[in-house]
Structure 1
Amino acid sequence: MTPSKRQLDILKNVRFNGFCTTSALADTLEVSMETIRRNVNSLVAEGLLEKVHGGVSLPESIPEPSFSRRLAEDKEAKQQIAALVAAQIRNGESLFLDNSSTTAYVAMALSEHKNLFIVTNSASIANILVSRNGNRVFLAGGELREHDAGAFGPEALEFVSRFELDHAILSASAVHCEKGFMVNHLCEAVFSQTLISHSQQTIMALDQSKFDKMAPVKQCDFSQINQFVTNNAPLDPLREAIKLGDCDLLTAEQQTFSQ
């Protein structure tokens, strides 16, 4: 699901207050109770809100693994993917990099590239590429998340929206043949959509452990991705969904399937 503006406003109010009654949401957003109930029910169905006695709250969150732990998971697959992504980037090009562990490996694989123009919301990735081979590195601001040093607030969104770049390099928490690419947090999906809309080409870097899995929030459709880079080719029906989305598939075996 890609939340509507009204649903984003509901989530913002619940996040700020910790708990909201439907009547308070209706008053704050100046809409009918029926409109609030309909939107709240959709958000509950997607796992983004939880009904409690008298109103709604955010669901209990599962702590995210640390960034260093995520770097250690499926390390070889991520390194293979990173090498393939880096091979698509030419010296002097401009790119967005999100704050995933896979894109951190992409940043490492770009260590020999020269004169890159890089925009990221990851302090870790910025640190990898800054002061190297004439690169220019721009870091989105705002509050950094504790577990991965990524910025996702309004300041970060406003900052990245100033740029129009050659590539957006993203990763995801899951990919499913019917749902597309998914992430664990709404702010990550909104950030990804912003990067997609401000780039000429979008590359999704994702290892096979995420295949045929589900996550709470829809990130993007297959049709929004120009190239899907992974370590092993998925099987049908996921592979067929990629094909129908007109998305090129590049695997670690260096076989490109032009859909």
Structure 2
Amino acid sequence: MLAQQRQQTILERVRASGGVRVADLVRELGVSDMTVRRDLESLAERGLLEKVHGGATTLGPGSTEEPGFTAKSARQQQEKEAIARRAAQLVGPGTAVALSAGTTTWALAHHLVSVPDLTVITNSVPVADVFHRTPRTDRTVVLTGGVRTPSDALVGPVAVAAIRRLHVDTLFLGVHGMSVRAGFTTPNLLESETDRELVAAAHRLVVPVDHTKWNIVGISTIADLAEADVVISDQGLPAEARAELTERVGELIIAEGTQ
């Protein structure tokens, strides 16, 4: 097998399983340990994988990487739907809620269209569109202005000014990642500023977030874990994350129907 073919095989294995061990590649490819390590070094230098002790893994997302709304909406659909259903149970008639941008908050919006006498504040164009498509005379929707991000959030000084004098019962905060060290984060600096203003406007902070966001860190922190009154996740959330969140947030809810 030529080096190029061998490296392509290694790359396919890494992408399929998320990581490979040098020892396994030596056995499967029938080459020496040194040959495998040279292949991994070559692939790492080209930015195609990340070398780790004893093997290699897929490249983790950068702290400023921001996938578009369409790309994110195709990920973890079952988990997001279950989380959204559970989050909707926290909203009663006659309340004011804020929904930040995100595909999980967008899923939540679909479950809130039937709630009577609801006031909704959002900086998400897709979220606002959900309510626009199902109008009610007893509903008020306020869409902030601002500069549009790849994730269809409206951010920046205009959005911040619109939110600053508002007060809501509950904020449902969509996040890019969460970790003990960095808290709830986003890859967009302007979005973090806007989201912090939403946090300040809310009496209760609820973070609906699927398990893949654990230990993902964006460039800017929106809030510390301890600021969350409720975190709603799915059954794929690892034991380590459950323990850390249970210790730090007001309440951790694991949505049913996520397996």
After TM superposition, the score normalised by the length of structure 1 is 0.69
Task: Provide the rounded CA distance (Å) in 1 between the counterparts of 2:143 and 2:124.
Answer: 7
Task: Provide the rounded CA distance (Å) in 2 between the counterparts of 1:174 and 1:206.
Answer: 8
Counterpart residue number, 2:93: 91
Contact 2:177 2:184 (C-alpha < 8 Å) held by counterparts:
yes
Task: Provide the rounded CA distance (Å) in 2 between the counterparts of 1:148 and 1:245.
Answer: 28
Deviation of 1:218 after TM superposition, in Å, equals 1.7
Contact 1:178 1:241 (C-alpha < 8 Å) held by counterparts:
no
In structure 2, give the amino acid aligned to 1:72.
Answer: A
Counterpart residue number, 2:207: 204
Counterpart residue number, 1:79: 81
Task: Provide the rounded CA distance (Å) in 2 between the counterparts of 1:121 and 1:159.
Answer: 10
Contact 2:66 2:187 (C-alpha < 8 Å) held by counterparts:
no
Q: State how many pairs are aligned.
A: 194
Task: Provide the rounded CA distance (Å) in 2 between the counterparts of 1:63 and 1:252.
Answer: 28
Counterpart residue number, 1:257: none
Deviation of 1:236 after TM superposition, in Å, equals 4.6
1:160 paired residue among 163, 183, 186: 163
After TM superposition, the score normalised by the length of structure 2 is 0.69
2:216 paired residue among 213, 235, 240: 213
In structure 1, give the amino acid aligned to 2:126.
Answer: S
- CA spacing shift, 1:226–1:93, aligned 2, 3 Å: same
Counterpart residue number, 1:189: 192
Please give the per-residue CA displacement for 1:50-102, whole angstroms capped at 9, x wherever unaligned: xxxxxxxxxx9976333122111111111111001101100111011111111
3-state SS in 1 of match to 2:155 = coil
Q: Does 1:138 align with 2:133?
A: no
Larger Rg: 2
Counterpart residue number, 1:226: 229
In structure 2, give the amino acid aligned to 1:139.
Answer: L
3-state SS in 2 of match to 1:90 = coil
What's the Cα RMSD here?
2.1
Please give the per-residue CA displacement for 1:219-240, whole angstroms capped at 9, x wherever unaligned: 2111110000011263454333
Counterpart residue number, 1:106: 108
Deviation of 1:181 after TM superposition, in Å, equals 1.5
Deviation of 1:175 after TM superposition, in Å, equals 1.3
Runs of 4+ in 1 over 3 A off after TM superposition: 60-64, 233-237
Please give the per-residue CA displacement for 1:127-177, whole angstroms capped at 9, x wherever unaligned: 1113236210001012323x3332101010010112111001102111113
Task: Provide the rounded CA distance (Å) in 1 between the counterparts of 2:80 and 2:239.
Answer: 22
- CA spacing shift, 1:68–1:239, aligned 2, 3 Å: same
What runs of 5+ residues in structure 2 fail to find an aligned partner? 1-61
Deviation of 1:211 after TM superposition, in Å, equals 1.3
What runs of 5+ residues in structure 1 fail to find an aligned partner? 1-59, 255-259
Contact 2:80 2:104 (C-alpha < 8 Å) held by counterparts:
yes
Contact 1:222 1:247 (C-alpha < 8 Å) held by counterparts:
no
- CA spacing shift, 1:62–1:214, aligned 2, 3 Å: closer
- CA spacing shift, 1:233–1:133, aligned 2, 3 Å: farther
Task: Provide the rounded CA distance (Å) in 2 between the counterparts of 1:230 and 1:133.
Answer: 33
